[in-house]
């Protein structure tokens, strides 16, 4: 192999990065055996890990994810939970949630007692023991990893931000644009989108003319917004 060639074997053995294909994994869940990402081909999915069943912060998160599951479905996305606990522990925990908090958890939960899935996805962090940190992975219909979020064990996730990120990724793909901070409720620019900056002089000069013709908000050739 030459110095410029990439060893795909080495790459696939490490923690996946943004833009990589999600690792091929066969997992046991509360809904049976699943193959990731193949069983979700053509769909978005959001995989999120939690440190353990029967823990308070995780319980609030699972309730919140379930309460927002239809909103994820409206964005053509499925939810998948994960922890290092066994399937029977997941079942007992979700039964408790249903009985005590009146929420029937409808998404599958991966039982990763071997830790193989957590290891493959970089969910076990030094100094955190064997429990999985609060990770979120958004995977697109082609099985590519598009977003990773990590939260410490002490802090519950912001489900609104996971939904916002999913919608933003889909909008960016569909419209070929970038999106401002806090989109779609940016304090200064509302729900407008950003055009990608031109990559050469000719396109930079043409951008301002285009902006005038299309009624874009052109602050400069490199900072131009448009309505979606």
- Each residue of 161-180: pLDDT tens digit? 999 999 999 999 999 999 99
| Whether residue 131 has pLDDT greater than 90 | no
Residue 42 shares a structural domain with residue 93: yes
Residue 112 shares a structural domain with residue 187: no
**Residue of 47, 58, 169, 195 with catalytic role:** 58
Is the CB of residue 191 less than 8 Å from the CB of residue 184?
A: yes
Determine if residue 134 is labeled as part of a ligand binding site: yes
We report the CATH number of the domain holding residue 212 as 3.30.1020.10
CB-based contacts of 48: which residues, under 8 Å, 6+ apart?
61, 65, 79, 80, 81, 82, 134, 135, 136, 137, 157, 162
Domain boundary among 113, 128, 158: 158
Our answer to whether residue 199 is catalytic in this structure is no
In a domain, 64, yes or no: yes
In a domain, 189, yes or no: yes
pLDDT at position 98: 97
We report the CATH number of the domain holding residue 15 as 3.40.30.10
Average pLDDT over residues 90-110: 97
pTM of the model: 0.88
Residue 200's pLDDT band (cuts 50, 70, 90): very high
Please provide the average confidence, as pLDDT, over all residues in the chain.
89
Residue 125 shares a structural domain with residue 47: yes
| Whether residue 10 has pLDDT greater than 80 | no
In a domain, 2, yes or no: no
- Each residue of 65-88: pLDDT tens digit? 999 999 999 999 999 999 889 999
- Count of domains observed in the chain: 2
Q: What is the 3-class SS of 17-41, one letter each residue?
A: CCCCECCCEEEEECCEEEEECHHHC
Residue 145 shares a structural domain with residue 216: no
Question: Residue 154 sits in which domain range?
Answer: 9-158
């Amino acid at each position: 192999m030459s110095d410029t060639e990439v060893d795909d074997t080495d790459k696939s053995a490490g923690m996946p990065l943004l833009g990589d294909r999600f690792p091929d994994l066969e997992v046991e869940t509360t809904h049976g055996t699943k193959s990731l990402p193949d069983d979700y081909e053509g769909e978005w999915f959001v995989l999120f890990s939690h440190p353990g069943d029967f823990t308070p912060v995780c319980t609030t998160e699972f309730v919140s994810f379930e309460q927002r599951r239809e909103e994820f479905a409206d964005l053509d996305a499925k939810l998948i939970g994960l922890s290092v606990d066994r399937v029977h522990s997941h079942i007992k925990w979700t039964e408790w949630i249903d009985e005590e908090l009146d929420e029937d958890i409808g998404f599958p939960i991966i039982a990763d007692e071997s830790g193989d899935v957590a290891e493959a996805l970089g969910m076990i962090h030094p100094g955190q023991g064997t429990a999985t940190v609060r990770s979120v992975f958004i995977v697109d219909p082609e099985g590519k990893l598009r977003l990773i979020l990590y939260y410490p064990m002490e802090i519950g996730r912001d489900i609104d931000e996971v939904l916002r990120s999913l919608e933003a990724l889909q909008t960016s793909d569909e419209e070929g644009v970038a999106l401002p901070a806090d989109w779609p409720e940016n304090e200064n620019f509302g729900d407008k989108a950003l055009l990608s900056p031109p990559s050469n002089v000719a396109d930079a000069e043409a951008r301002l003319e285009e902006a005038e013709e299309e009624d874009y908000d052109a602050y400069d050739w490199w900072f131009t917004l448009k309505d979606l």
